[in-house]
Structure 1
């Protein structure tokens, strides 16, 4: 676990560069901090179009949200989080889903959790806050975290 792929030309634009330009480390740090995920102990480096996260987060949720918060940035194709540690427990392999054209959270919930479980879409929405502000505001290429169901 540690290297996660994203679509380079999809996501939030940070800074003044062109669409294929990776943002600078300071812009990524500010974006990560803006979500209040408890990432104060996280160091951010940019290597070409890859973001490298190092340090410690409180729990698995903060780990996964930190990865998608910086990965869903225009100009970023990979996030390396091999040196990002989870304080509460050993990090599990996260489940991420890349949104395709025509997707909505209901369809994604059924695809990930099984037929008839589309109503679980609110779990996916809640798991991706504060990066998602409305359940209908997802876009192709965006990467979402898919939490396990507590059944």
Structure 2
């Protein structure tokens, strides 16, 4: 469990800036009731979009819970992932969304397994270069690609600010 950081302005665009603005506290204290209702609705809509995104990748456990707070740009995910790799993919799917700065990990797994490392893609990065950095072998890029499916659909389609799983060497 813990907080994972992401680049807020990088990632999948699942909801517009209007939702994030509506959910951010901007109204004076005496007008808080309508603003709070708007913020709650916008947060719920954004959370549902993130949950649907995770579900579209066939990663979601049956008890997946997703909450979003635009005021802090934090997504909270909860539930029981079937294994460590799926847990990490859920965290990445939730975090690699434009407007999300941090993911609060409340997921559990039935059996403890070694955790992967995470890499923030920089401009000019390739999976081969990332593989060389972590494994000492550029030709092991496919291990990183496979570890990030279904978020990645092609080894050449990574972008600056994206966070990738780097699985332990096995």
Indicate whether the TM-score tops 0.5: yes
Partner of 1:121: 141
**In 2, distance between residues paired with 1:38 and 1:25?**
14
Structure 2: runs of 5 or more not aligned: 22-42
Shift of 1:94: 3.4
Q: Tell me the secondary structure at the aligned position of residue 24 of structure 1.
A: helix
Structure 1 residues 42-53: aligned runs within 5 Å: 42-48=64-70, 49-53=73-77
Would the aligned equivalents of 1:20 and 1:74 in 2 still touch at CA under 8 Å? no
Q: Which runs of 5+ in 1 are unaligned?
A: none
Larger Rg: 2
Instruction: Pick the structure with more helix per residue.
Output: 2
Task: Give the RMSD, CA atoms, in angstroms.
Answer: 1.8
Instruction: Provide the TM-score with structure 2 as the length reference.
Output: 0.80
- Any conservation in 1 of the 2:114–2:168 contact (CA below 8 Å)? no
Q: Given the two structures, how large is their TM-score scaled by the length of structure 1?
A: 0.90
Gap change, CA 1:18 and 1:109, over 3 Å in 2: farther
Conserved 8 A contact 1:19-1:74: no
8 Å Cα contact 1:51-1:71 kept in structure 2: yes
Segments of 4+ in structure 1 off by > 6 A?
none
